[in-house]
Amino acid sequence: MLVSIAYLKPSFLGWVIVLPNWRSGKMLLSQLVAAILNDLTTAQDLANEYSSQLSRKYNKYESEKDNILGNFQVPSGILQEIELDLKFAVEKLNENKTALDIEGTQAKCIELATKIVNEALEEVKKVIHALNIPARNAETTATPQALPTLIPSEKAASSQPNNEREEAIKYWQELDLKIEGDSYKNALITLMNESIFEQGKKQYLRNKKWVSESDLKQIILAVLQKGVLAHEDFKKLLDLTKKAFDKTDKDMDSIRINIENSFNQIIDKYSTSSYVKSLLVVMPGVPNADIVVNPATLKDLPIDMVSTLKIKAGLQSYRWMIAESGQSLQKVTE
C-alpha cells in the first residue's frame, strides 16, 4: 500500500488522515515517524480486540445447540507490512539537543553509591564495636543470605540468659562479618545505584532536568532506611541485643539515633550541588529536523523544496510463553 500522508490514525471505519499541530503544520520528523509506527501498533491492537469479540459469536452455544458459525474460523486480520510515502518540507535543524550518556552517567552513579554504602557500613561497624562485642575467633563461621538469620523464636524463648547473651554475641559477630563481605555490600550498592540512576534518567528523558540536591537526599535516605535501619534482620538483632545485654529502651534509641545521625552526615556530604552535577554525563545529540506537514502550506512551496520519505514498516507478533522454568516473551514464527 502506497499512501501520501501526514499522519495516519486508525478508526473502526478505517484509516483517517490527521495533521498534528494542524494550524502550523509543524513538528519534528522523529515525532511524525514515531506517531505512524505507534498508530500501526494501535491498529493491530484494535483488530485483535475486535477479533476477540467476534470469537464469542463463533463459539459453540453453551446449550450445545448447533451454531452454524461454529464451523468457521474467526475472521482476523494481521497487519504485517505497510509502505508509506511521506511528504514534508524541512524548516530548520535543531543542533542544540543533548542526549543522556547512559553508560557514563551510570558509572558515575555506581561510583557515588559505592562511596556512600562503604561509609554507611563503616558507621554500622562502629556501633557494633562500641557495644564491646567480643571479636570473632577463627572458629566463627557465618553464611547468612542477606543479614544474619535469627534463631527461631521458640529456641530464643527457651534459652537461658547466658545462652541468650552468647547467641546475641554470635549474631553481632556474623553481622560484622557480613558487612565486610561482598554479597550484602554489593546488593546495597546496586540498590543505591539503581535508585539514583533510574530517577535521574526518568526526569532527564521527560524534561531534561536531572535530580536536585533534595531529590538525591531523599533517595540516599530511602535506600539506607530500607537496606539497613528498616531491614528486618537488623531490627531483630537490635531487639535481641536489648534482651541479652539488659539494655533499656533509651539505650536502644541512642544506638538508632547515633546511626541515623551518622547517616545524615553522609547524606549531607554526598548530596551537594557539586556531586549532583558530577553524576550527569551528556553527549551531543543528533540534530532534529523541524518539518512542515500541512498540505495547505506544502502546495504553495516549490516542488524542489518538498521532501519525500518512504517508510516500509512491519509488525512482528510476540506471545507470552509460560513454562515450569518461568515466563518469557517469544516471537511467533508460524
Residue 220 structural domain: 99-283
pLDDT at 98: 77
Interatomic CA distance for residues 291 and 248, integer angstroms: 72
Considering the domain architecture, whether residues 210 and 130 belong to the same structural domain is answered as yes
More confident residue, 298 or 13: 298
Between 184 and 1, the more confident residue is 184
Phi–psi pair at 8, nearest 5 degrees: -90, 140
Q: Which residue has the higher pLDDT, 260 or 240?
A: 260
Which pairs from 155-164 meet CB under 8 Å and 24+ separation? 156/240, 161/244, 164/240, 164/243, 164/244
Do 293 and 228 fall into the same domain? Answer: no
Among candidate residues 267, 283, 299, the one where a domain is terminated: 283
Please answer whether residues 226 and 235 qualify as being in contact, where contact means their C-beta atoms are separated by less than 8 angstroms: no
Instruction: Let me know whether 154 and 294 are in one domain.
Output: no
Q: Return the C-alpha cell found at 334.
A: 508460524
| Number of C-beta neighbours around residue 1 at 10 A | 8
Q: Mean pLDDT lowest for which of 65-74, 96-105, 163-172, 184-193?
A: 163-172
In terms of domains, do 179 and 308 share one?
A: no
Q: What is the structure's pLDDT at 238?
A: 78
Identify which has the larger pLDDT, 119 or 149. 119
End-to-end C-alpha distance for the chain, whole angstroms: 24
Whole-model pTM: value is 0.55
CA distances from 163 to 155, 175, 201, 217, 246 (A): 10, 18, 51, 42, 14
Average pLDDT, rounded, for the chain: 77
Burial tier of 216 (Cβ tally within 10 Å: 0-12, 13-18, 19+): buried
Kindly state the percentage of the chain with pLDDT values over 70.
Answer: 76
pLDDT digits (tens, 9 = 90+) for 191-248: 999 999 999 999 988 888 899 999 999 999 999 998 888 887 777 777 777 777 777 8
User: In the listed set 263, 283, 303, which residue is the last one of a domain according to the structure?
Assistant: 283
Residues 56 and 187 in one domain: no
Same domain, 279 and 305: no
Residue 173 CA: distances (Å) to CA of 153, 156, 189, 225? 19, 17, 22, 22
Strands 8-11 and 98-100: unpaired
CA atoms within 13 A on the CB side of 176: 21
Which cell numbers hold the place of 118?
A: 562503604
Residues 28 and 137 in one domain: no
- For residues 88 and 104, membership in a common domain is answered with no
The answer on 326 and 243 residing in a single domain is no
Angle at 229 between CA 226 and CA 230, to 5 degrees: 50
- 80 or 149: whose pLDDT is higher? 80
Q: Are residues 24 and 90 in the same domain?
A: yes
166 Cβ contact list (under 8 Å, min separation 6): none
Amino acid type, 145: Q
**Count of structural domains within the chain:** 2
Verify that 260 and 120 share a domain, yes or no: yes
Task: Kindly state whether residues 111 and 65 are assigned to the same domain.
Answer: no
Pairing state between β 8-11 and 14-17:
antiparallel
